[in-house]
Chain A
Amino acid sequence: MKRIVTKEDYIRSLKDLHHIVYYNGKRVEDVTDHPALRPHINSAALTYELALRPEYEELMTATSHLIGKKINRFTHIHQSVDDLIKKVQMLRLIAHETGSCFQRCVGFDGLNAVYMTTYDIDQKYKTDYFERFKKYLLHVQESNVMVVGGMTDPKGDRSLPPTKQSDPDLFTHVVERRSDGIIIRGAKAHQTGAINSHEILIMPTQAMREDERDYALVCALPLNAPGVLLIFGRQTNEERKLEEGIDIGNPKFGLVGGEALVVFEDVFVPWERVFLCGEYDMAGILVERFATLHRQNYGGCKGGVSDILIGASALAAEFQGTANASHIKDKLAEMIHLAETIYAGSVACSAMGYKTPSGAYYPDPLLANTTKHNVTRHIYEIARLAHDIAGGIIATMPFQGDLESSEVGRYVKKYLSAAKGVSVEARMKILRLIENMSGGTALTESMHGAGSPQTQKVMYGRLGNMEEKKRLAKRLVGIN
Chain B
Amino acid sequence: MKVVEHHHLMKGRKKIGIKYCGGCNPTYERVEMVQRVKHKLKDQFLFLQHDQQNLDVLVLINGCIRACADKNLNQIKDPHRSIIRESDFESLIDWLASFNDKGEKI
What is A's interface to B at a CB cutoff of 8 Å? Answer: 54-60, 86, 89-90, 92-93, 96, 307
Interface residue ranges of B38-83 to A (CB < 8 Å):
49, 61, 68-69
Complex formed: what's the CA distance from A90 to B23 in Å?
A: 8
Can you identify 15 A-B contacts, CB atoms within 8 angstroms? A54-B20, A55-B20, A55-B61, A56-B20, A56-B22, A58-B68, A59-B22, A59-B23, A59-B24, A86-B22, A89-B25, A90-B22, A93-B22, A93-B24, A96-B25
Please name all residues of chain A whose beta carbon is closer than 8 Å to the beta carbon of B68 when the two chains form the complex: 58
Q: Could you tell me if A54 and B49 are in contact, using CB atoms closer than 8 angstroms? A: yes
Complex formed: what's the CA distance from A60 to B20 in Å?
A: 12
Q: Could you tell me if B69 and A54 are in contact, using CB atoms closer than 8 angstroms? A: no
**In the complex, residue of chain A having the shortest beta-carbon distance to the beta carbon of B20:** A55
Q: Within the complex, what minimum Cβ distance (angstroms) separates A289 from chain B?
A: 25
Determine the main DSSP class of B at the interface with A: mixed
Among B21, B22, B68, B69, the most chain A Cβ lie within 10 Å of the Cβ of B22
Q: Could you tell me if B20 and A58 are in contact, using CB atoms closer than 8 angstroms? A: yes
Q: Within the complex, what minimum Cβ distance (angstroms) separates B86 from chain A?
A: 15
**In the complex, residue of chain A having the shortest beta-carbon distance to the beta carbon of B25:** A92
Q: Within the complex, what minimum Cβ distance (angstroms) separates B52 from chain A?
A: 11
Query: How many residue pairs between the two chains, A and B, have CB atoms under 8 Å in the bound complex?
Result: 36
Complex formed: what's the CA distance from A20 to B49 in Å?
A: 43
Please name all residues of chain B whose beta carbon is closer than 8 Å to the beta carbon of A55 when the two chains form the complex: 20, 23, 30-31, 61
Complex formed: what's the CA distance from A56 to B69 in Å?
A: 11
Please name all residues of chain A whose beta carbon is closer than 8 Å to the beta carbon of B31 when the two chains form the complex: 55
Please name all residues of chain B whose beta carbon is closer than 8 Å to the beta carbon of A86 when the two chains form the complex: 22
Please name all residues of chain A whose beta carbon is closer than 8 Å to the beta carbon of B61 when the two chains form the complex: 55
Complex formed: what's the CA distance from A54 to B68 in Å?
A: 14
**In the complex, residue of chain A having the shortest beta-carbon distance to the beta carbon of B61:** A55
Complex formed: what's the CA distance from A54 to B21 in Å?
A: 9
Please name all residues of chain A whose beta carbon is closer than 8 Å to the beta carbon of B25 when the two chains form the complex: 89, 92-93, 96, 307
Q: Does B92 contact A (CB under 8 A)?
A: no
Please name all residues of chain A whose beta carbon is closer than 8 Å to the beta carbon of B21 when the two chains form the complex: 58
Q: Within the complex, what minimum Cβ distance (angstroms) separates B88 from chain A?
A: 16
Complex formed: what's the CA distance from A441 to B83 in Å?
A: 41
Interface residue ranges of B14-28 to A (CB < 8 Å):
18, 20-25
Please name all residues of chain B whose beta carbon is closer than 8 Å to the beta carbon of A59 when the two chains form the complex: 22-24
Please name all residues of chain B whose beta carbon is closer than 8 Å to the beta carbon of A307 when the two chains form the complex: 25
Please name all residues of chain A whose beta carbon is closer than 8 Å to the beta carbon of B30 when the two chains form the complex: 55
Complex formed: what's the CA distance from A127 to B72 in Å?
A: 41
**In the complex, residue of chain B having the shortest beta-carbon distance to the beta carbon of A86:** B22
Please name all residues of chain B whose beta carbon is closer than 8 Å to the beta carbon of A89 when the two chains form the complex: 22, 24-25
Complex formed: what's the CA distance from A59 to B71 in Å?
A: 13
Complex formed: what's the CA distance from A164 to B15 in Å?
A: 70
Complex formed: what's the CA distance from A106 to B36 in Å?
A: 38
Please name all residues of chain A whose beta carbon is closer than 8 Å to the beta carbon of B24 when the two chains form the complex: 59, 89-90, 92-93
Please name all residues of chain A whose beta carbon is closer than 8 Å to the beta carbon of B49 when the two chains form the complex: 54
Q: Within the complex, what minimum Cβ distance (angstroms) separates A71 from chain B?
A: 16
**In the complex, residue of chain B having the shortest beta-carbon distance to the beta carbon of A56:** B23
**In the complex, residue of chain A having the shortest beta-carbon distance to the beta carbon of B29:** A55
Please name all residues of chain B whose beta carbon is closer than 8 Å to the beta carbon of A54 when the two chains form the complex: 18, 20, 49
Complex formed: what's the CA distance from A436 to B61 in Å?
A: 34
Complex formed: what's the CA distance from A307 to B20 in Å?
A: 22
